Amino acid sequence: MRDNTLANIQLQKDDRIFIAGHSGMVGSALVRILKQKGFDNLILKTHKELDLLDQQKVRDFFAKERPEIVFLAAARVGGIEANRSKPYEFLYENLQIQNNVINSAFIEKTRSLVFLGSSCIYPRICPQPMKEEYLMTGPLEPTNEGYALAKIAGMKLLEFLDKEYGFTYLSVMPCNLYGTNDSFDPVNSHVLAGLVRRFSEAVESGDKQITLWGTGDARREFLHVNDMARAVLTLLENNVCCSNVNVGSGYDVSISELAKMIAERSGFQGKILWDHTKPDGMPRKCLDVSKLEELDFKPSYTLEKGIEEMIDYYYSFKGRGSKQ
């Protein structure tokens, strides 16, 4: 076992960096910031080029490419309905991806690996704000249990690799993310993008009311994916490694407050109704971001600015220009 005081996760400009899941929202944000900072030796593979569910193909890829740094941002992701209706797929596929990539990185002596987790790993009823040490102190939220279990397993796999073999890693747990390359899919979108789509469609069709899931009382913390990428690079630049670190804005809003903000900025003037027969998910998810604050990290996006950008992005995504 290696003395962790000697571990170094800082990036070098000539490092061969593999970003698993580079076309997704999180992966593409990491690609953008790495390129902006002059890291040009990036290894990027589409799903067609490399199926991360295929153990042998992943092993062959690592043996051939020998990346020195790995960002594991690939995952099956989705909103509350997708997670609730497909728990087996979320658990199995994410376990398979993680196991294949992490084990291959270990076998091929990758210098370090950055694992992208999620704030949903914390207990359903958790003290707020949620500190890193609260992990595995209570039952998980049932609606996303499969995804959360997979992420916990990935974090533990890295922790045990470090404990037994001195493998250098960093696990980050982001809050609810949104931004460029987000999904507006009716089933698979996350809450902010899903609400942007719902309100924008209501404005386009002239609807006088809209019905949303749950009570609206659940509280969530949001961070633009560009700020998430900045936070990860800040941690690496400061050689924060061999640990789990929360990444978020440090404040939350209720879903009803979020809905009103999006309604106002999208131009929706109708009535908002709530379907109490649908689940809220975790009552509250707000991260303790003390470790990031100690490094003087602050988000560059306010939630208001981020919502306005997402509405514009939705219309651009739809091929209809800006919301104007």
Measure the CA–CA gap between 256 and 88, rounded to whole angstroms: 30
Q: For residue 147, indicate whether it is catalytic.
A: yes
Confidence of residue 324 (pLDDT cuts 50, 70, 90): very low
Among the three residues 202, 229, 247, which one is the final residue of a domain in this structure?
247
User: Phi/psi at 116 (nearest 5 deg)?
Assistant: -95, 110
Does 233 fall in a domain? yes
* Model confidence pLDDT, tens digit, residues 242-260: 999 999 999 999 999 999 9
78 falls in which pLDDT band (50, 70, 90)?
confident
3-state secondary structure of 273: strand
Rounded Cα–Cα distance for residues 91 and 150 (Å): 5
Q: Are residues 170 and 262 in the same domain?
A: no
With beta carbons less than 8 A apart as the criterion, state whether 120 and 135 touch.
no
Q: What CATH number is associated with residue 200?
A: 3.90.25.10
Predicted local distance difference test score (pLDDT) of residue 322:
44
- Look at residue 291 and tell me if it is in a domain: no
Q: What is the DSSP letter of 139?
A: P
Helix or strand or coil: residue 62?
Answer: helix
Q: Are 214 and 143 in contact (CB under 8 A)?
A: no
Query: Domains in the chain: how many in total?
Result: 2
Distance, in Å, from the CA atom of 58 to the CA atom of 65, rounded to the nearest integer, reads: 10
pLDDT tens-digit readout, 92-149:
999 999 999 999 999 999 999 999 999 999 999 999 999 999 999 999 999 999 999 9
* pLDDT at residue 224 is higher than 70: yes
Instruction: Tell me if 204 is assigned to some domain.
Output: yes
Per-residue confidence (pLDDT) for residue 4, from 0 to 100: 53
Q: What is the pLDDT of residue 246?
A: 98
CATH assignment at residue 134:
3.40.50.720
Structural domain containing residue 279 = 191-220+252-284+302-317
Residues 133 and 259 in one domain: no
In this prediction, residue 190 carries a pLDDT of 87
Longest dimension (CA), the chain: 64
The single-letter code of the amino acid at 170 is L
CA distances from 133 to 129, 169, 192, 246 (A): 11, 18, 28, 11
Which spans in the chain are helix H? 25-36, 55-65, 80-85, 87-107, 145-165, 191-205, 225-237, 255-266, 290-293, 303-317
Out of 122, 147, 178, 301, the active site residue is 147
Q: Are 148 and 214 in a shared domain? A: no
Quick one: 235 and 275 in the same domain? no
pTM of the model: 0.94
